């Protein structure tokens, strides 16, 4: 097994290098506007639609950026990861494009659509019980047995750098942002976004958004050390159910983030309905996190130019229909 820990922290230059590496391979996703959103919050919103990215989320950026740097020996042995869905799909497609084997460990509770898509992209999928089994320990054992390289969903410098290219594109297309709202799960997207702000020489303030019942990053920021929470089961944002940040992501967040706020499931559903009704966009609960924070206590967006990262649109259609109908 190729050891992945510890890592040297990624840098703003890493994001610029990732952008060059990904050119022509990722979609430069559109930035949409909404007069209704602007009027409701007395702000100007710029929505970066990573729900329209390959595999339906920003995760393809980090996955391909990482796998593209594998040695020939690593490619021959293949890649392994653990993921609830979006990283799984992204890694599976990236591995297929680079002609290497991929093994993905997914929780039994993962959305069926994400599990099916991961298999369709060509990866072998194994499941585990998240309440009784340690996914990272299982992956490390399998990686050792099969000689595969473990690429975690967030805590990897090249994953973080690749994820940061979404914010970099937004800042290139809308250079004068005041605030950037970013969903927080494992921390890779916000860590990369913080580096992208530096790479773009922007004064934009970055605010992370977590589900109120899965706020390990917020607790970590407040206490100054990584806080691990019990496995959250009471949020619809399955992509943001991380129990703790990794040291790489936390180091960047602690040093550079403006704040981390939380939002409710009800606000996420409201944001999903807004995207569907007003902007004709299918957005999953985690993807709606950032805009759901527009109602967060203490977050003043009045008069600001606000970037919003819509992180993904992978949701089971029956579940999605229930969200819109309730």
Residues 6+ apart with CB under 8 A from 158: 10, 14, 18, 62, 65, 66, 69
Among residues 59, 83, 113, 114, which one is catalytic?
59
Two structure tokens written together for 212: 């109120």
Q: In what order do the strands lie in the sheet with 79-82?
A: 124-128, 102-107, 79-82, 149-150
Quickly count: other Cβ atoms within 10 Å of residue 325's Cβ: 7
CA distance 145 to 238: 30
Helix-then-strand count for the chain, H and E: 14, 10
Question: Would you call 59 a catalytic residue per the annotation?
Answer: yes
- Inter-residue contact 150 to 4 (CB < 8 Å): yes
Give one DSSP letter per residue of 140-162, joined into a string: HHHHHHHTPEE--SSSSHHHHHH
Question: Would you call 114 a catalytic residue per the annotation?
Answer: no
Q: Tell me which residue of 114, 104, 110 sits closest to 139, measured CA to CA.
A: 104
Quickly count: other Cβ atoms within 10 Å of residue 226's Cβ: 18
Among residues 34, 113, 267, 311, which one is catalytic?
311
Residues 6+ apart with CB under 8 A from 197: 167, 171, 180, 204, 206, 256
For residue 314, CA distances in Å to 54, 117, 319 come to 11, 10, 11
Active site residues per annotation: 59, 311
């Amino acid at each position: 097994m190729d050891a992945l820990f510890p890592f040297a922290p990624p840098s703003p230059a890493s994001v610029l290098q990732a952008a060059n590496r990904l050119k022509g391979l990722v979609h430069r996703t559109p930035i949409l506007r909404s007069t209704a959103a602007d009027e409701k919050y007395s702000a100007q919103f710029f929505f970066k639609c990573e729900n329209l990215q390959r595999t339906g989320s920003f995760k393809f950026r980090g996955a391909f950026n990482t796998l593209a740097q594998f040695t020939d020996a690593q490619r021959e042995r293949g890649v392994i990861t653990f993921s609830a869905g979006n990283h799984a799909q992204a890694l599976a497609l990236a591995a297929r494009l680079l002609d290497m084997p991929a093994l993905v460990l997914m929780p039994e509770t993962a959305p069926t659509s994400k599990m099916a898509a991961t298999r369709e992209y060509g990866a072998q999928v194994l499941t585990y019980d998240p309440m009784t089994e340690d996914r990272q320990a299982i992956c490390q054992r399998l990686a050792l047995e099969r000689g595969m390289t473990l690429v975690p969903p967030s805590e990897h410098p090249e994953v973080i750098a690749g994820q940061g290219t979404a914010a970099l594109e937004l800042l290139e297309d809308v250079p004068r942002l005041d605030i950037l709202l970013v969903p927080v799960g494992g921390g890779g997207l916000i860590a990369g976004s913080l580096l992208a702000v530096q790479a773009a020489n922007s004064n934009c303030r970055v605010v992370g958004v977590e589900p109120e019942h899965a706020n390990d990053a917020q607790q970590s920021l407040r206490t100054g050390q990584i806080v691990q929470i019990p496995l959250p089961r009471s949020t619809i944002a399955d992509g943001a159910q991380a129990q703790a940040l990794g040291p790489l992501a936390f180091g960047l967040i602690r040093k550079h983030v403006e704040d981390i706020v939380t939002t409710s499931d009800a606000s996420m559903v409201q944001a999903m309905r807004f995207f569907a009704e007003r902007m004709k966009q299918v957005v999953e609960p985690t993807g709606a996190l950032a805009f759901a924070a527009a109602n967060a206590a203490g977050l003043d967006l009045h008069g600001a130019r606000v970037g919003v990262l819509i992180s993904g649109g992978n949701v089971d259609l029956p579940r999605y229909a229930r969200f819109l109908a309730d």
